[in-house]
Amino acid sequence: MSLQQALFYAEGLRFSCTRCSTCCRYESGYVFLTEHDTTRLLESLQIAHTGFVETYCRWVPDKWGTEQLTLKEKSNYDCIFWKNGCSVYEARPLQCRTFPFWHSIMVSAKAWDAAARDCPGMGKGTLHLLEEIMAYLEQQDAENLVTRISNREVM
């Protein structure tokens, strides 16, 4: 059986975001930032790196003993950039722009179906072909997450 036959998304998958905001609000979660994400956001917000990290970010310990840069949440768990919708939509992080085509979701049809229970855009709308989905996954592998050891960034 070829890889293409084995993948449950070999014929592509349908997804169109309805902008319902369920994935940006209400529940705690992590939006990990890549180097490109920070560059795009700094440009969009016209802010310096230090101010950006202090105002919009937090460091989260990972299993390797380092810390990864993620977006802050508001006290109600809304994304720090949620203001009647995504206030940085054009510069939104890779994690947001590639949803739902994440490794953790594309691992199986079961994982896709489970994620789709919380996202009204999955399984409907635009057909995303295998090549496009693979490109999203490869892009996530290619971009380095912003990481630090002992308060020193090691991007």
Binding site for ligand SF4 (CB under 6 A): 17-23, 99, 119-121
- Is residue 10 within 8 Å of 109, Cβ to Cβ? no
Cβ distance to ligand SF4 smaller for residue 19 or 49: 19
Single-letter amino acid code for the residue at 131: E
- Six token digits for residue 117: 């229970």
Shortest Å distance, C-beta 7 to ligand SF4: 21
Helix (H) or strand (E) holding 2: none
Single-letter amino acid code for the residue at 20: C
Shortest Å distance, C-beta 126 to ligand SF4: 12
Cβ distance to ligand SF4 smaller for residue 20 or 149: 20
Count the neighbouring beta carbons within 10 Å of the beta carbon of residue 3. 9
Shortest Å distance, C-beta 16 to ligand SF4: 8
Helix (H) or strand (E) holding 38: helix 35-45
Cβ distance to ligand SF4 smaller for residue 95 or 147: 95
Shortest Å distance, C-beta 42 to ligand SF4: 24
Report how far residue 62's alpha carbon sits from residue 59's, in angstroms, rounded to the nearest whole number.
9
Cβ distance to ligand SF4 smaller for residue 41 or 119: 119
Shortest Å distance, C-beta 116 to ligand SF4: 9
Cβ distance to ligand SF4 smaller for residue 19 or 74: 19
- Which residues lie closer than 8 Å to 26 by C-beta, 6 or more apart? 76, 77, 78
